[in-house]
Structure 1
């Protein structure tokens, strides 16, 4: 019985290592691929580096998102907080219809956040524009932003 479990575990570990190496190899082969009208890049490194890059790429794919920033326009609690949050959202939709707006409730707080940015510096342009209408807004760190949402 122990022998069977050991064989299964070794099989999983080997298949995981092969998958990691494949991701790393694909990444580096895509970089090194010569395309018409473009330059050529030659990369030389130990195979272990390819394996590490593959592990990193696969972990990022499994996470589903990245840490980033949004601009927080409203944070409130109390009996009127939901209504106030709705009013702020309506104003943002009117003034900035192209921006992604998040209305969130996490007891006991209502929040309105705008945008999806990879870094704080990327959020500053929108922050400056929003600051004119919402003087108390500020950038906030956010976990697990979907890559497709990033600007």
Structure 2
């Protein structure tokens, strides 16, 4: 009886944990593709375990990132005693002309920066840059390493 019980437990463990390196159906794209639903065919993916581990590593790294790379338009960057006040004045001036735009005033020692917009691709920022340059002729597009998906400009 003990042998039968051990065999059943071993079989269940093998079924539950037998696919090394695989995540649950919700985590692994491979497991999602291979999972079967009623009325669907069966897909079997054969590849090196290293490919699956690399994909898992890529997924985990992306989940830990606070956002995605994108672009903003930088209007002002300054240092010194008056830089904070100047940044706020730039923000106010921009919002008076473009009230629907999201303006960010950031402090990253020793710089105060004023940036506007959130764009996934650089070419999406160019129409706004053209309009903003009438007021701020020295403005330019900058790459932003982590923009939240909620922040992107919708056209």
TM range (shorter): 0.5 to 0.7
Residue equivalent to 2:21: 17
TM-score by length of structure 2 reads 0.66
User: Which of the residues 94, 110, 113 maps onto 1:111?
Assistant: 113
Query: Number of residue pairs matched?
Result: 126
CA root-mean-square deviation: 3.1
Q: Name the larger-Rg structure.
A: 2
Deviation readout 1:21-66 (Å, 9 max, x if unpaired)? 743147758xxxxxxxxxxxxx996556676555433321221211
Residue equivalent to 1:120: 122
Give the superposition deviation at 1:144. 1.1
Gaps of 5+ in 1: 1-13, 30-42
C-alpha contact (below 8 Å) 2:30/2:45 kept by paired residues: no
TM-score by length of structure 1 reads 0.68
C-alpha contact (below 8 Å) 1:77/1:110 kept by paired residues: yes
Distance 1:99 1:45, change over 3 A: farther
2:100 aligns to what SS in structure 1?
coil
Which of the two has greater helix per residue?
1
1:1-151 residue pairs with structure 2 within 5 A? 17-19=21-23, 22-25=27-30, 46=46, 52-151=54-153
Give the superposition deviation at 1:114. 0.5
Moved more, 47-56 or 131-140: 47-56
Distance 1:125 1:51, change over 3 A: farther
Gaps of 5+ in 2: 1-17, 35-42
